[in-house]
Structure 1
């Protein structure tokens, strides 16, 4: 929804987003760690426990799109046609930085001075791993007679899989410190440009039928993994893993195209496994934490 303000925060949109995410996460067993709903796009940090992220995103995005079309009385498309950016978070440093980045989005966009002031759906650093979001079934779109649309949906916020409860408080402090750094950076940039912040009240009053007027840089890179700052060894190892996967995938695909149905695709292959029944190596764990 590039530039479109269809998700401008209000009670109905906030309810739809929480309900859709809670139902989708429960259906596919996805653990949600952090989120922030901007007026033009969404940010999620999740763990794909069962290797079903494409199905989860398809279901969640469809619910949000159809509900938004009803709430906004909108006939056109809700999402743009670019594929969702999905970044695998390989280290704790990457998780801290990406979650803080997600929470700081409204500040970086010049909407509010502090992330906690954003009126849209978001998570505070102190809620990581212990907060719970609640939503009643939206009456404007979902059929109350359909049993899959439960009346009350809850979304517990999970800790990333490598963070145990003993380390949870330290992890929350790390995210809060990184968020504070990003807020200070946004404040300094606003001061340099001599611009102010829109404020929560005005951000909630903007028409959802307008388009954002600020310049939005097109994606010049679409990373597949993140390791955090100053993690050179981890970055090189991750890049080598990606290269090895792509090489193995190309070799398996060439054999498949040559009608060799015993071709073994590398672990992590999804499309060929789901839609063509291809064999896939099971050499790695399914648990993957991602930012989408």
Structure 2
């Protein structure tokens, strides 16, 4: 049984979803890039989600978003379904597209975590030994200079989507928003922070590739890989599925975030226990989503103090 998760309006997250058995179904090409941008633009607008950064790898997706309205599960369900159905048509793929594991949802609890995870997302192709610099990746991505001021555009894909259905607009635009707490007057400083962290992570990744005696594949060869092949590199079992991140050397912030998670889970379990014995007047803690949405449970508007 999975742990209860607080869904708080205004929270910022690192989201990761993996393709089934590490197939290269999202290998970058014009059609897949178009599908991903369009699906994300339509989904983000529908659910009021702000997108800050993204990188679409051949075997997985990374997003950094802010869930303004507290509807993250709805957004993920809609977006991932749209991508899966479009991918099945484009790749003539039978069966599931996504890994059976749930989406990794990591709440970014501090500005330091936002900077570090944003650089991590952008550096992913370098860490995988596919290109030497993040800007060379041919898949859907965001460059540092676009953070908080760029936009991605895509026309409606011909695959799967009905042009007569008004919800599928002909042209979709995905604006790239600044994370909460970053004002326009400090945006350039924020971009410089991410750029410096990205440079550090890229250098570290290149050094690791060289240490292992590997060769960088390069953007051209990446684009020619069969989408039906699978990644052959070893990948450790994903035993840890973190709930939050605070960044390096943020001990006090980590203790505060961990205490908040423990308090929410304890309060949720206590309320659920009473609900299960028939007490329908019980009030669940702020951030309870499933019980409120599907069972009409009462939820307090006051966040727990820790």
**Structure 1 length normalisation: TM-score?**
0.96
Give the secondary structure class of the aligned counterpart of 1:166: helix
Aligned counterpart for 2:231 among listed residues 205, 209, 212? 212
Cα deviation code 1:185-204 (max 9, x no counterpart)? 01111111111110000000
Residue number in structure 1 paired with 2:164:
145
Cα distance in 2 for partners of 1:64, 1:230 equals: 37
Give the secondary structure class of the aligned counterpart of 2:247: coil
RMSD: 1.0
Cα distance in 2 for partners of 1:50, 1:115 equals: 31
Residue number in structure 2 paired with 1:43:
62
Q: How far 1:284 moved relative to its partner?
A: 4.1
Cα distance in 2 for partners of 1:146, 1:218 equals: 42
Alignment of 1:193-272 (within 5 A): 193-272=212-291
Matched, 1:168 2:187: yes
Cα deviation code 1:189-221 (max 9, x no counterpart)? 111111111000000000001111111222121
Give the secondary structure class of the aligned counterpart of 1:86: strand
Give the secondary structure class of the aligned counterpart of 1:167: helix
Matched, 1:74 2:93: yes
Higher RCO by CA contacts (8 Å cutoff, separation 6 or greater): 1
Q: How far 1:281 moved relative to its partner?
A: 1.2
Cα distance in 2 for partners of 1:216, 1:119 equals: 23
Matched, 1:57 2:76: yes
Name the count of aligned residue pairs: 285
Give the secondary structure class of the aligned counterpart of 2:185: coil
Cα distance in 2 for partners of 1:193, 1:149 equals: 46
Residue number in structure 2 paired with 1:115:
134
Cα deviation code 1:254-281 (max 9, x no counterpart)? 1101111111111111110100001111
Indicate if the aligned counterparts of 2:153 and 2:171 stay in contact, CA closer than 8 A: yes
Give the secondary structure class of the aligned counterpart of 1:244: helix
- Consecutive unaligned residues of structure 2, counting only runs of 5 or more, are 1-18
- Consecutive unaligned residues of structure 1, counting only runs of 5 or more, are 286-292
Runs of 4+ deviating beyond 2 Å: none
**Structure 2 length normalisation: TM-score?**
0.92
Aligned counterpart for 2:143 among listed residues 124, 130, 134? 124
Residue number in structure 1 paired with 2:297:
278
Q: How far 1:169 moved relative to its partner?
A: 0.5
Cα distance in 1 for partners of 2:237, 2:143 equals: 28
Q: How far 1:30 moved relative to its partner?
A: 0.3
Give the secondary structure class of the aligned counterpart of 1:102: helix
Cα deviation code 1:90-147 (max 9, x no counterpart)? 1100000000000000000010000000000000111100000000000122100000
Residue number in structure 2 paired with 1:3:
22
Matched, 1:21 2:24: no
Indicate if the aligned counterparts of 2:285 and 2:303 stay in contact, CA closer than 8 A: no
